C-alpha cells in the first residue's frame, strides 16, 4: 500500500489506499444545519429548508440520503475494476435544537443514520472536523474518506453524480482535498466560484487555482462564465479524515482544538445520538470550509486541491428563483403550489400554505403565503429576502424563528391570536407526551381541555382534567402538563400578563434535555 503524507502534518501519517488496492472505505457526512434564510417565510430558523417539502413530497434531507444511496451504487460499479467500495452508515450533523424534527424526518423515510448534535451552530468547517473525528473513531484503525454533502441541495441526474463521486474518491484516496465543481450554466451572482487550473487526467478533474467570493455584480459573473476557467462552488467535499484533520490543524488550529475537546467530552443519548461537549464546542470559532481551509489550498504547497466536474443538474436551492427553476411549469412559465390561481401572468412562482393566492397580470414575481407571513418579491430580487430576515431578527420578531404552528418533541402548538396583553394557543400533546416542569415570572396561563385527558402539576397539586374542564396557572408557580392517555390531548391555552415574551420560561426538569432558558436551547417557545 502507498502512504499518504501531508507535508507538515502534525498528525501521524496514516496508511492510505491507492488505485491498485482492494478497498475504498467511505464515510458519508450530511451537513444539515443551514438556516435557509433566503427561502423565508417557508423556511424558518427552527424549521429550515432541509426539513421542508420544497420540491415534490419529500424534504431535501430525505432526497439527499436517497440520492446518495443511488450514487454510491453507480460509483461502486465505476471503480469496481480497481477497488471495492465499503460505505459506512451516514453521519447526519445538525444543531441540537433541530434534533427532534430531523429525527422525525429520518424516521419518515426509513433511513438508518448516526446523528451528531452540535450544541450551537458553528458553520461547516467545525462540522466537517467533527465528522472526520467521528469517522476515524468508528473506523477501527482505518482512515476513511469523508464524503461531505449539504442536506439542502438538489441534483437531478443521480447517475452522473455517482460518476463524479467515483472520480473524487480516486483523487481523495491519493491525499487530495477534493470539491465537486459545477461548470456554470449561466452567469449567477448567488454562488461562489472556483478558478480551475491545469487538467488532471482524462476525466475532467482540474487543479484548484483559487476559491472566489460570490461576484458583486452580473458583469463580473458573466466574465467568469465567458472565460471557461470558473466553476460554481457546490460546497460538496471529498477528503480523507486524516488529511482534513491535518489541514484544519495547520490552517485553523483553534477550530481543530475546540472540536477535539468537544468530541472528547461528547455523550451518547438513549437513541444513539452523539451530543458534543457544550462548553468546548461553544468556544469554537464559527467558520466555513472555504474560509477556514480551502482558500489556502491553492497557495500552500502542503495541500493538493482538486475539483471534479459535476454536470448533473445541480442546484443549491438557495432562493425562490432556484425553486422556480427546479419546478414543473405551466405553459406560461408559472409554478403553483397549494391553492393558487394565475390569470394573465407569466414566469411567476406562487406558494400557498392555506389561503387562496390569486395572481393577475403579473410577470416574474414570487408570492409565498404562510399562516403568519406573506412574501411578495420580484423574482430577480429574491436574494434580498435575507435582508428582511435580518431585520426581523434585529426586531426580535417571532416570524424569523418559527412558524405559527410549531412542532415540539411532545406534539405541537399553534398560536391562534395575540394582543397587547394576551395570547391564545392551541396545544396538542401526543399520547405519552410530557412537557417540561416550568415556571413563568410575568404571565398567567388558563388551560381548557378540548379533547382527551390532561395530567396537571400545579405547585404541590397533582390532578386530572377531562374534556371541557379547565385550570388556572398563576405567575411564579411551577407547572407541568402530561398526556397519560392513548389518544392525543388537545387544549386551548390563554396567556395573559404584562410580558408574553417566549424567553419568560424557566425549566426545572425537561424530558428532552433542553436548557432551563428556552432560548438557550433554540426552543424559544413555551413548554
Please give the Cα distance from 34 to 95 (Å, whole number). Answer: 9
The residues that bridge with 212 in the sheet, in sequence order, are: 193
In this prediction, residue 141 has a pLDDT band, given cuts at 50, 70 and 90, of: confident
Q: Which residue has the cell 460554481?
A: 232
> What pLDDT, on a 0 to 100 scale, did the predictor assign at position 83?
59
C-alpha cell at 22: 482492494
**Residue 476 and residue 341 in one domain:** no
Does 307 fall in a domain?
Answer: no
Does 518 fall in a domain?
Answer: no
165, pLDDT greater than 80 = yes
Does 398 fall in a domain?
Answer: no
**CATH classification at residue 416:** 2.60.120.10
**Residue 268 and residue 333 in one domain:** no
Contact 182, 13 (CB under 8 A): no
Does 299 fall in a domain?
Answer: no
Residue 149 main-chain phi, psi, to 5 deg:
-130, 135
Please give the Cα distance from 377 to 386 (Å, whole number). Answer: 12
C-alpha cell at 7: 507535508
**Residue 497 and residue 348 in one domain:** no
Pairing mode of beta strands 84-87, 23-31: parallel
338, pLDDT greater than 50 = yes
> What pLDDT, on a 0 to 100 scale, did the predictor assign at position 524?
38
In this prediction, residue 84 has a pLDDT band, given cuts at 50, 70 and 90, of: low
Please give the Cα distance from 447 to 350 (Å, whole number). Answer: 38
Pairing mode of beta strands 193-199, 206-212: antiparallel
> What pLDDT, on a 0 to 100 scale, did the predictor assign at position 80?
62
**Residue 281 and residue 418 in one domain:** no
The mean pLDDT of 141-150, rounded to a whole number, is 92
Does 186 fall in a domain?
Answer: no
Q: Give whole-number Cα distances, 20 to 86, 146, 201, 202, 424, in Å.
A: 15, 20, 17, 18, 67
The region of weakest confidence among 54-63, 112-121, 174-183, 518-527 is 518-527
**Residue 366 and residue 416 in one domain:** no
**Residue 459 and residue 377 in one domain:** no
Q: What is the DSSP string of 418-486?
A: E-SSEEEEEEEE-TT-BPPEEE-SSEEEEEEEEES-EEEEETTEEEEE-TT-EEEE-TT--EEEE--SS
Does 198 fall in a domain?
Answer: no
Contact 117, 95 (CB under 8 A): yes
The region of weakest confidence among 21-30, 51-60, 459-468 is 21-30
Q: Which of 359, 386, 413 is the last residue of a domain?
A: 386
C-alpha cell at 395: 426586531
> What pLDDT, on a 0 to 100 scale, did the predictor assign at position 195?
94
The mean pLDDT of 84-93, rounded to a whole number, is 85
The mean pLDDT of 488-499, rounded to a whole number, is 94
21, pLDDT greater than 60 = no
**Residue 13 and residue 135 in one domain:** yes
Q: Which of 338, 357, 386 is the last residue of a domain?
A: 386
**Residue 382 and residue 413 in one domain:** no
> What pLDDT, on a 0 to 100 scale, did the predictor assign at position 167?
93
Pairing mode of beta strands 145-150, 230-240: antiparallel
Does 116 fall in a domain?
Answer: yes
pLDDT in tens, 212-226: 888 888 899 999 999
**Residue 335 and residue 473 in one domain:** no
> What pLDDT, on a 0 to 100 scale, did the predictor assign at position 514?
53
| Angular region, 114: left φ>0, alpha ψ -120 to 50, beta rest | beta
Burial (CB < 10 A; 0-12, 13-18, 19+), residue 525, is: middle
> What pLDDT, on a 0 to 100 scale, did the predictor assign at position 18?
39
6, pLDDT greater than 60 = no
Does 436 fall in a domain?
Answer: yes
> What pLDDT, on a 0 to 100 scale, did the predictor assign at position 23?
65
**Residue 152 and residue 51 in one domain:** yes
44, pLDDT greater than 50 = yes
Please give the Cα distance from 125 to 252 (Å, whole number). Answer: 9
Percent of the chain with pLDDT over 70: 91
CA 104 from chain centre, in angstroms, equals 14
**Residue 99 and residue 243 in one domain:** yes
Pairing mode of beta strands 145-150, 23-31: parallel
**CATH classification at residue 30:** 3.90.550.10
Average pLDDT, the chain: 87
Please give the Cα distance from 200 to 170 (Å, whole number). Answer: 12
Residues in Cβ contact with 207 at an 8 Å cutoff, skipping those fewer than 6 apart: 196, 197, 198, 200, 298, 305, 306, 307
Could you give the number of structural domains in the chain? 3
193, pLDDT greater than 80 = yes
**Residue 164 and residue 57 in one domain:** yes
pLDDT in tens, 349-382: 999 999 999 999 999 999 999 988 999 999 999 9
Contact 128, 148 (CB under 8 A): yes
The mean pLDDT of 63-87, rounded to a whole number, is 80
Please give the Cα distance from 312 to 326 (Å, whole number). Answer: 13
User: Which residue range forms the structural domain that includes residue 345?
Assistant: 321-386
Residues in Cβ contact with 407 at an 8 Å cutoff, skipping those fewer than 6 apart: 47, 100, 101, 104
Amino acid at each position: 500500500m502507498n502512504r499518504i503524507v501531508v507535508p507538515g502534518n502534525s498528525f501521524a501519517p496514516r496508511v492510505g489506499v491507492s488505485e491498485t488496492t482492494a478497498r475504498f472505505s467511505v464515510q458519508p457526512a450530511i451537513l444539515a444545519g443551514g438556516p435557509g434564510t433566503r427561502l423565508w417565510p417557508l423556511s424558518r430558523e427552527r424549521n429550515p429548508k432541509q426539513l421542508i417539502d420544497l420540491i415534490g413530497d419529500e424534504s431535501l434531507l430525505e432526497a439527499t440520503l436517497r440520492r446518495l444511496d443511488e450514487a454510491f451504487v453507480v460509483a461502486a460499479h465505476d471503480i469496481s475494476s480497481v477497488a471495492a467500495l465499503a460505505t459506512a452508515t451516514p453521519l447526519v450533523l445538525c444543531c441540537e435544537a433541530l434534533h427532534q424534527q430531523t429525527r422525525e424526518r429520518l424516521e419518515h423515510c426509513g433511513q438508518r443514520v448516526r446523528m451528531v448534535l452540535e450544541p450551537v451552530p458553528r458553520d461547516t468547517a467545525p462540522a466537517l472536523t467533527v465528522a472526520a473525528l467521528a469517522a476515524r473513531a468508528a473506523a477501527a484503525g482505518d482512515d476513511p474518506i469523508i464524503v461531505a454533502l449539504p442536506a439542502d441541495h438538489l441534483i437531478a441526474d443521480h447517475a452522473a453524480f455517482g460518476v463524479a463521486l467515483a472520480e473524487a474518491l480516486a483523487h481523495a484516496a491519493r491525499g487530495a482535498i477534493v470539491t465537486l465543481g459545477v461548470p456554470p450554466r449561466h452567469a449567477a451572482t448567488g454562488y461562489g466560484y472556483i478558478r480551475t487550473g491545469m487538467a488532471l487526467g482524462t476525466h475532467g478533474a482540474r487543479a484548484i487555482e483559487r476559491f472566489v467570493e460570490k461576484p458583486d455584480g452580473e458583469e463580473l459573473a458573466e466574465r467568469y462564465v465567458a472565460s471557461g476557467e470558473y466553476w460554481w462552488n457546490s460546497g460538496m467535499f471529498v477528503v480523507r479524515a486524516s488529511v482534513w484533520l491535518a489541514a484544519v490543524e495547520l490552517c485553523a488550529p483553534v477550530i481543530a482544538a475546540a472540536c477535539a475537546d468537544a468530541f472528547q467530552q461528547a455523550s451518547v443519548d438513549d437513541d444513539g445520538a452523539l451530543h458534543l461537549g457544550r462548553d468546548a464546542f461553544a468556544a469554537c470559532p464559527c467558520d466555513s470550509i472555504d474560509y477556514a481551509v480551502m482558500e489556502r489550498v491553492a497557495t500552500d504547497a502542503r495541500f493538493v486541491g482538486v475539483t471534479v466536474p459535476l454536470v448533473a443538474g445541480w442546484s443549491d436551492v438557495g432562493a425562490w428563483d432556484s425553486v422556480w427553476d427546479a419546478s414543473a411549469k405551466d405553459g406560461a412559465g408559472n409554478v403553483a403550489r397549494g391553492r393558487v390561481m394565475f390569470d394573465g401572468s407569466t414566469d411567476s412562482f406562487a406558494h400557498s400554505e392555506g389561503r387562496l393566492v390569486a395572481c393577475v397580470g403579473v410577470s416574474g414575481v414570487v408570492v409565498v403565503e404562510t399562516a403568519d407571513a406573506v412574501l411578495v418579491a420580484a423574482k430577480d430580487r429574491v436574494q434580498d429576502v435575507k435582508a428582511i430576515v435580518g431585520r426581523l431578527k434585529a426586531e426580535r420578531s417571532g416570524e424569523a424563528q418559527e412558524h405559527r404552528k410549531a412542532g415540539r418533541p411532545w406534539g405541537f402548538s399553534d398560536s391562534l391570536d395575540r394582543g397587547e396583553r394576551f395570547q391564545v394557543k392551541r396545544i396538542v400533546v401526543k399520547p405519552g407526551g410530557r412537557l417540561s416542569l416550568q415556571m413563568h415570572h410575568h404571565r398567567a396561563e388558563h388551560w381548557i381541555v378540548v379533547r382527551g385527558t390532561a395530567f396537571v402539576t400545579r405547585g404541590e397539586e397533582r390532578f386530572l382534567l377531562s374534556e371541557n374542564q379547565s385550570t388556572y396557572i398563576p405567575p411564579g408557580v411551577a407547572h407541568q402538563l402530561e398526556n397519560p392517555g392513548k389518544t392525543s390531548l388537545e387544549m386551548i391555552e390563554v396567556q395573559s400578563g404584562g410580558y408574553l415574551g417566549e424567553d419568560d420560561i424557566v425549566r426545572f426538569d425537561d424530558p428532552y434535555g433542553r436548557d432551563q432558558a428556552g432560548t438557550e436551547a433554540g426552543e424559544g417557545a413555551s413548554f
